[in-house]
Amino acid sequence: MSIDRPPVTPQHYEVLHGGGAEAAEIAKQRYSSRRFLRRSMLAIWGVAAVGSVAGALNLLYPNLAGQFGASLDVGAKSAFKAATPDKFAVNEAGVFYRQQAKTYVVHLAKETHFLLHGTNLSDQLDAETILKDADGSYWIALYQRCVHLGCTVPFRNECLSFKCPCHGSHYNSDGEYLDGPAPRSLDRFAFHFQGGDVVVDTGTLNNKVPHPDATTRLIPVPPLVCV
Ligand code: FES
């Protein structure tokens, strides 16, 4: 139906062809009807435009509070028992999975044997987003996603390491590359402590930790064959 030309009823026909006071009244109604339709259409277009703008803003600035992509509190520090890599057991000691953050929180005991020392060690810890705590232990927040083609990588207690089930990429307990097709070490998130809790910033990813060599590897290769 056209806005400008609503259907011509018999009464409208009278108006068009001269109908006195009645015709004038019908003409007035017809004008009101046209004006009402115009206003209705404008209102609909207005609502649609506001909805479109709101949708675009939501895409550009999504509200991620409490969701993956935001900073997530994954629990009290005391829930993550530190261990040396030879004692790691998932969700029991050294390595803890937090599904909401898609993260393995790794907590290395202060007795951990590192292959580097002094500034070489501190520089490499910074490069690999590893935080040394006040008690001498070390923390890492590893992204669960395999850097080869994106499968979720489990920690294998019997291997003391992460091994991807898809194509076999293999990563040490601190996320450093061991072998397989992965192009780099596991990615890791920024994180901090807040009121005694561990907060993982799942929107800030360090995806630039290359294959380690003799000058950069932090943790000894586990003395186990992992198949
Ligand atoms: S996706 Fe992990 S090895 Fe291919």
What are the average pLDDT values for consecutive 10-residue runs of the chain, which has 227 residues? 46 46 53 62 62 57 80 98 98 98 98 97 98 97 98 98 98 98 98 97 98 97 92
Q: Which residues have CB under 6 Å of ligand 1?
A: 146, 148-151, 164, 166-169, 180-182
pLDDT value, residue 65:
79
Cα 43 off chain centre by: 37
User: Amino acid identity, residue 139?
Assistant: W
pLDDT value, residue 193:
97
User: From the CA of 64, how far away is ligand 1's center (Å)?
Assistant: 28
User: From the CA of 57, how far away is ligand 1's center (Å)?
Assistant: 35
pLDDT value, residue 219:
96
145, 152, 164, 170: which to mutate for ligand 1, most atoms within 8 A of CB? 164
User: From the CA of 161, how far away is ligand 1's center (Å)?
Assistant: 15
Cα 20 off chain centre by: 71
- The residue nearest atom 3 of ligand 1, judged by CA position, is 167
User: From the CA of 36, how far away is ligand 1's center (Å)?
Assistant: 62
User: From the CA of 160, how far away is ligand 1's center (Å)?
Assistant: 18
- The residue nearest atom 1 of ligand 1, judged by CA position, is 149
pLDDT value, residue 14:
43
Residue 146 CA, closest ligand 1 atom number: 2
CB atoms under 10 Å from CB of 169, counted, come to 23
Residue 182 CA, closest ligand 1 atom number: 3
Q: Report the alpha-carbon distance of residue 148 to residue 151 in Å, rounded.
A: 8
Residue 181 CA, closest ligand 1 atom number: 3
Tokens matching residue 182: 């992965």
User: From the CA of 155, how far away is ligand 1's center (Å)?
Assistant: 14
Angle at Cα 213 formed by Cα 207 and Cα 155, nearest 5°?
55
pLDDT value, residue 66:
86
User: From the CA of 177, how far away is ligand 1's center (Å)?
Assistant: 12
- The residue nearest atom 4 of ligand 1, judged by CA position, is 167
Q: Report the alpha-carbon distance of residue 179 to residue 27 in Å, rounded.
A: 85
